[in-house]
Chain A
Amino acid sequence: MGFNRKGFLLRSALVMGGIFLNGCVRKLSGRNEKYRHIKGHLKGPDEKAGHMLRDKIVIAEPSYSKKVKTLIIGAGISGLSAGRWLKKQGMADFEILELEDHAGGNAHSEGNTVSSYPWGAHYITIANNDDELLIDFLKENGVITHFENGLPFYNEFYLCFDPEERLLIKGQWQEGLIPKFGISQQDQEQIDKFFALCNQLKYAKGEDGKYAFNIPLDASSEDKRYRDLDQMSFKDYLVKAGYNSAYLLWYLNYCCKDDYGQQIKDVSAWAGLNYFAGHKGTAANAESGAVLTWPEGNGFLVNKLKSYLKPHIRTSVMATSVVSNKDHVEVDVFDMLKNQTYTILAEQVIIACPQFVNKRILKNTDRNLFDYDQLNYAPWMVANITLTDFPASGLQTLSWDNVPYGAPSVGYVYSGHQQVDHGKQAKVITFYLPLCDREPRVSRLAAYSRSYDQWLDMIIPELEYMHPEITPLIESVDVWVWGHGMISPSVNYIWGEDRKKARSSVAGQIFFAHTDLSGISLFEEGFHQGINAAKSLLEVNR
């Protein structure tokens, strides 16, 4: 451990030294002439809150206390979903606390005069047909309009419009993301073989009769045959199975970066395969695996969840300490606007925050001991880029998802794609860069130390590579850094002991819900995390 830490410090020092030096050079040489016209800001989750939690800034004594029957901390998808469930079960006395000035967490979205756009999560896949809870939610909110022959009929304005995806490979944009332009026969064979395997795994079942792979993942089979796949990396699995096509490996690596923020070497084989075999939803009016998306991304779903919960959500309120006593849970909270601390006495609490936060705020509580360091979070940089125009000719036009082969980013998504009207000339695109070249801790520190211009140095060359001469059309670039973007399904996390322990509730009083407790960061997982926590809470009450 000690050695590991020293190595970590050294690596961090080197990387940050590099960034610092580069920053100095930038200061001396001035801003890149080509970017001078670009406006924008560096953004991210509330910094003050982060400091308060990390640096243990002395927080004033609580000035008063109040009682709330049930308290939910965190208004991400997990917390909102828990609140929705309580509400549906007729509960009225509950509050949801959120430290940011908006609910939504990593599914947050914003907008400008051109379009709405996501800052994080931007789509979901059509629901698995046996996921009744999710299907109910989608039905309640008009995402599923009706059923035909027993199959859900999805709202056609929400199914991703065509053209959906394109890949820039060998100087050409091809339709779809699986490389096909100019690849060899052998490559094609390996790609076909891999997808044949996935199709088979999709419907494979374990001895207990459950699907080997599923979403939510806790619904999948306990069969060791499959679960053991969690103990090796996806990369090792692929090598062992004889896959060596550079194109196939690039594609799988891209998929893991896109969904898990990590490369195939850093995620477990079980997680890697679940990406392809977990989603098996079918629909009356869409192909299996079709995606649902909105200009504001999953901000759409956040708003739907919020619509159940209007009077219950308190924003700009941060929980700073949670203590479990005999007859109630004492939660100290800090009102970020009034700069005031008070105490909430709750009978029961659902903490819907990531575990690295919980580690700080849970005091004097004998939570089932687990190793917090087993939870790795992938850092991300997301940039929303406003373009005055996007030259397109004929069918060579923007797709929803636009990906460059072999580049560090996972490309960009065009937020305006789901608009039915003719569309404006100006457009917003959302550029996604998982920071996964180094171990998450190093990448995170590096990300925090980069200046706005240094981010432009990473974004613009890639955009130029995809679209030569695009720089003059860029009006603004807003950059958002997610230090702890999403949980990584590292080897042995999903089916390991730590996750199991971390999920268990404390004394029938404190319950946990967050995508990091499922191991893959998807809307569906957060949605079920919330419902499960709410259900366990109600169970205790009964």
Chain B
Amino acid sequence: MHKKLPVLLLTSVFVVATCGLIYELIAGTLASYLLGDSVTQFSTIIGLYLFSMGIGSWISKYFEKDILFWFIQIEILVGLVGGTSSSILYLVFESAASFRIILYSLVGITGILVGLEIPLLMRILKDRYEFKDLVSKVFTFDYIGALLASIVFPLLLIPYLGLIKTSYLFGILNVAVALIVCLNFHKEIKRASYLKIASIVSLLVLLAGFVLADVITKYSESLGYNDTVIYSKSTNYQRIVLTKKGKVLRLYLNSNLQFSSDDEYRYHEALVHPGLSAIPGAKKVLVMGGGDGLAVREILKYPGVNQISLVDLDPGMTNLFKSNPMLTELNKSSLLSPKVKVINADAFSWIRSQNEKYDFIIIDFPDPSNYSVGKLYSNSFYRLVRSILSEDGMIVVQSTSPFVAPKSFWSVNKTLESVGFFTTPYHNYVPSFGDWGYIMAATKPGYKVPEHFPEEVKFLTKEGIAQMLYFPKDMQKQDAEVNKLNNQVLVKYFEQEWGSVSYQ
């Protein structure tokens, strides 16, 4: 046998160990990004991984002949599976139901293959070392590799390469080891040329992945997200992107921030309670837009409300907020409540065919940044809303920032007034949005600040509302035109006012 063999093989123990641990870390990190709750995710993945390695070691006894051949073969396989695993997980995440199965299968397979490697290696080396030497050498390299992996992973790999590239890189290292061993010992291995070709092809595949990963990363960077993108999907209507940094989740629709999980309660409490708490007998509530279920979560704090209809255009959105564990934790599974009926329809078309009345109507559409959304802020739309509002009912409209976009805000106010509503504009501070505005409207004048709010509220108080109703000098009411389908002034105001501000 070749003299170089032991040295080479021991180096490969080192690489194999590093790669193995890296795959495990990648799977754990990805799972906690995507599924949330890192403690559970990491411990289940580590557990499963170790268990699979055990299975691998156990299987190793069934390999009797051509052990070097099998070692190289397995090395290539580990490289392939481990290298592509994070891309696969990213890609299949959107079909949420099967995600866990695929995640655990990948972890399992990688674990079994890695578990096979060390016993096989030890058997290849067993004739060259004393048993005690062998064990100590192999395990030393194994543990050094593991240490190295656990240090470089958080400090170098994730910040500089990102998850996807890291896994391709280690896949490449894995296969490279296979190729080198194969080239050096081709005389001693059966079917060396097959192994050579297999490893070269695998190397090319992984290399391509590495390069393409760059494209994907660049793309998500070009969207301007500072945080890690953990979910992104283009539905028929919009691009939904979820990011995570630390504990904070942020949702972007077409690159516009919709909420940030650390302060969204300020927005949603302000949107819902000043109005709903002022209608003691409210039973039926309608929410338009707001497919994230966060406004619905607030409404569910009123036991008297027994029917909530949520109209949101995009099933992609409501399904995500019904099924993703991180998101259902945030909205308290509100969309799954038996009181809630989710209707995926265009709000304008839907409302034209309605005649049932509602006691409280929440209008939580995206900002009027284009003409198709602008229609949902028009007098024609509000007239239809009025026609389905019960006599003592009230509506509330999210109306962009009265600080940044005063003309837009007061145009919404004027438009509501133009169809016969009595309005109550107010605003509050939401750190990730800035000073944000809402307008309540009713068919009768005389809004009274409610005495009580549901116990669970974190932000709202009676005194707080008094402040919210007050518009300081720099946000005073401005003259603005009524927004109509045939003038769409709001979209123009909005463009002027937000155009000069760099978008969140």
Tell yes or no: B495 within 8 A of A by CB: yes
- Asked if residues A162 and B487 are in contact (CB atoms below 8 Å), the reply is yes
A161 neighbours in B (Cβ, 8 Å)? 371, 375, 485-486, 488
B-chain residues with CB within 8 Å of residue A162 when the two chains form the complex: 371, 484-488
In angstroms, Cα B486 to Cα A164, docked, is 8
Q: Is B313 an interface residue (CB 8 A)?
A: yes
Contacts of A421 in B (CB 8 A): 346, 348-349
**Nearest CB on B from A218, distance (A):** 31
Contact of A159 with B485 at beta-carbon distance under 8 Å, contacts A420-B349, A421-B346, A421-B349 already known? yes
In the assembled complex, the CB of B34 is this many whole angstroms from the nearest CB of chain A, namely: 28
User: How far is A160 from B485 in the complex, measured between Cα atoms in Å?
Assistant: 8
Q: How far in angstroms is the closest Cβ of chain B from A530? A: 29
| B 28-58 to A, binary, CB cutoff 8 A, 1 in contact else 0 | 0000000000000000000000000000000
Q: Does B236 contact A (CB under 8 A)?
A: yes
A395 on the B face (CB < 8 A):
yes
Residues on B with C-beta less than 8 A from A395 are: 370-371, 491-492, 495
Interface flag for A422 (CB, 8 Å)? yes
Contacting residue for B370 out of A286, A394, A420, CB 8 A: A394
Q: Is B471 at the interface (CB under 8 A from chain A)?
A: no
Contacts of A286 in B (CB 8 A): 486
> Does the CB pair A397–B313 fall under 8 Å?
no
A157 part of interface (Cβ distance < 8 Å):
yes
Report Cα–Cα, A442/B237, bound state, in Å.
Answer: 48
Q: A420-B375, A422-B313 are in contact. Are A160 and B486 (CB under 8 A)?
A: yes
B380 touches A156 (CB 8 A): yes
In the complex, A157 Cα to B378 Cα: how many Å? 11
Chain A, residues 422-441, CB within 8 Å of chain B (1/0): the string is: 11010000000000000000
Are the CB atoms of B370 and A397 closer together than 8 Å?
yes
> Is B379 in contact with A156, judged by CB distance below 8 angstroms?
yes
How many whole Å from B127's CB to the nearest CB in chain A?
A: 65
Known: A420-B375, A421-B349, A422-B313. A394 touches B485 (CB 8 A): no
Please, how many angstroms separate the alpha-carbon atoms of A35 and B378 in the complex?
Answer: 41
Query: In the complex, what residues of A have CB within 8 A of residue B380's CB?
Result: 156-157, 420
Would you call A163 an interface residue if the criterion is a C-beta within 8 Å of the partner chain's C-beta atoms? yes
Per the CB 8 Å criterion, the residue count for chain B at the interface is: 24
Residues of A within 8 A of B193 (CB): none
Contact flags (1/0) for B227-245 with A, using CB distance below 8 Å? Answer: 0000000001100000000
Is the C-beta of B372 less than 8 angstroms from some C-beta in chain A? yes
Scoring B residues 337 to 350 as 1 if CB is less than 8 Å from chain A, else 0, what string do you get?
Answer: 00000000010110
How far is B236's CA from A395's CA once the two chains are assembled, in angstroms? 20
Task: State in angstroms the CA–CA spacing of A423 and B369 once bound together.
Answer: 16
- Contacting B at CB under 8 A, from A265-297, are 285-286, 290
- Residues of chain B lying within 8 A (CB to CB) of residue A163: 371, 488
Q: Are B371 and A397 in contact (CB under 8 A)?
A: yes
Interchain CA distance A394-B372 in the complex, whole Å: 11
**B 363-393 contacts with A by CB, 8 A:** 369-372, 375, 378-381
Count: A-B pairs, CB below 8 Å: 56
Residues in B151-186 with C-beta less than 8 Å from chain A: none
Q: Which residues of A contact B372 (CB under 8 A)?
A: 422-423
Interface class of chain A by DSSP: loop
Among residues of A, the one whose C-beta sits closest to the C-beta of B483 is A162
Chain A contact patch, size range: 10 to 19
Contact between B484 and A420 (Cβ–Cβ < 8 Å)?
no
- Closest Cβ of chain B to A348, distance in Å, is 43
User: Would you give the shortest CB distance from B185 to chain A, in whole angstroms?
Assistant: 53
Residues of chain A within 8 A (CB-CB) of B352 are: 420
Find chain A residues with CB under 8 A from B371 CB: 161-163, 395, 397
Residues of B contacting A164 in the complex (Cβ-Cβ under 8 angstroms): 486
Which residues in B have their C-beta under 8 angstroms from that of A397?
Answer: 370-371
Max chain A CB contacts within 10 Å: which of B237, B313, B369, B375?
B375
Query: In angstroms, how far is the closest chain B Cβ from the Cβ of A455?
Result: 31
Residues of B within 8 A of A423 (CB): 372
Cβ-neighbour of A422 out of B346, B378, B488, B495 (below 8 A): B346
What is the distance, in angstroms, from B399's C-beta to the closest C-beta of chain A? 20
Query: Given that A422-B237, A425-B236 are known contacts, is A290 also in contact with B348, CB under 8 Å in the complex?
Result: no
Complex contact B486–A159 (CB within 8 A): yes
Interchain nearest-CB distance for B316 vs A (Å): 13
A394-B256 Cα distance, complex, nearest whole Å: 13
Cα separation A159 to B380 with both chains bound (whole Å): 12
Report the minimum CB–CB distance from B418 to chain A (whole Å): 10
Shortest CB-to-CB span from B100 to chain A, Å, is 33
The residue from A156, A422, A425 contacting B484, defined by CB atoms under 8 A apart: A156
Within 8 Å by CB of A156, from B349, B486, B491, lies B486
Measured between alpha carbons, how far is A425 from B370 in the docked complex, in Å?
Answer: 15
Contacts of B488 in A (CB 8 A): 161-163
CA distance A397 to B492 in the complex (A): 13
Per the 8 Å Cβ criterion, residues 277-293 of B in contact with A are: none
Min C-beta distance of B502 to chain A, whole Å = 15
Within the complex, what minimum Cβ distance (angstroms) separates A419 from chain B? 8
Q: Mark B487-499, 1 if CB is under 8 A from A, else 0.
A: 1100110010000
Most B Cβ at <10 Å: residue of A157, A395, A423:
A395
Chain A residues within an 8 Å CB radius of B313: 422
A425 to chain B: which residues have CB within 8 Å?
236
Which residues of the partner chain B approach A394 to less than 8 Å between Cβ atoms?
369-370, 495
Residue in B348, B371, B372, B379 whose Cβ sees the most chain A Cβ within 10 Å: B371
A506 to B486, CA, bound (A): 47
A422 to B288, CA, bound (A): 14
Residues from chain B with a CB closer than 8 A to the CB of A290 are: 486
Q: How far is the CA of A421 from the CA of B313 in the complex (A)?
A: 10
Min CB distance, B340 to chain A, in Å? 22
Residues on the A chain within 8 Å of B491, using CB: 395
* Closest CB in chain A relative to B311 CB, distance in Å: 12
Query: Are A157's CB and B495's CB within 8 A?
Result: no
> What 1/0 mask marks residues of chain A from 324 to 350 whose CB sits below 8 Å from any chain B CB?
000000000000000000000000000
State in angstroms the CA–CA spacing of A157 and B384 once bound together. 12
Across the interface, name the chain B residue whose C-beta is closest to A398.
Answer: B371
In the complex, A245 Cα to B375 Cα: how many Å? 38
* A420 contact from B369, B485, B492, Cβ within 8 A: B485
Contact with B along A482-522 (1 / 0, CB 8 A): 00000000000000000000000000000000000000000
For A290, give the chain B residue with the smallest CB separation: B486
In the complex, the chain B residue whose C-beta lies closest to that of A425 is B236
A272 → B minimal CB distance (Å):
27
| Distance between A138 CB and nearest chain B CB, rounded to angstroms | 16
Nearest opposing residue in chain A for B485, CB measure: A161
Interface string of A135-176 (1 = CB under 8 A from B): 000000000000000000000110111111000000000000
**A462 and B362 alpha carbons, distance in the complex (Å):** 46
- Besides the known contacts A163-B488, A395-B371, 10 further A-B residue pairs in the complex with CB atoms under 8 A apart: A156-B379, A161-B371, A161-B375, A162-B486, A162-B487, A286-B486, A397-B370, A420-B346, A420-B349, A421-B346
What residues make up the interface of A, taking CB atoms closer than 8 Å to B? 156-157, 159-164, 285-286, 290, 394-395, 397, 420-423, 425
Q: List 17 A-B contacts (CB under 8 A).
A: A159-B485, A160-B486, A161-B371, A161-B486, A161-B488, A162-B371, A162-B484, A162-B486, A162-B488, A163-B371, A286-B486, A394-B369, A420-B352, A422-B237, A422-B313, A422-B372, A423-B372
Q: Which 3 A-B pairs have the closest CB atoms?
A: A421-B346, A162-B488, A420-B348
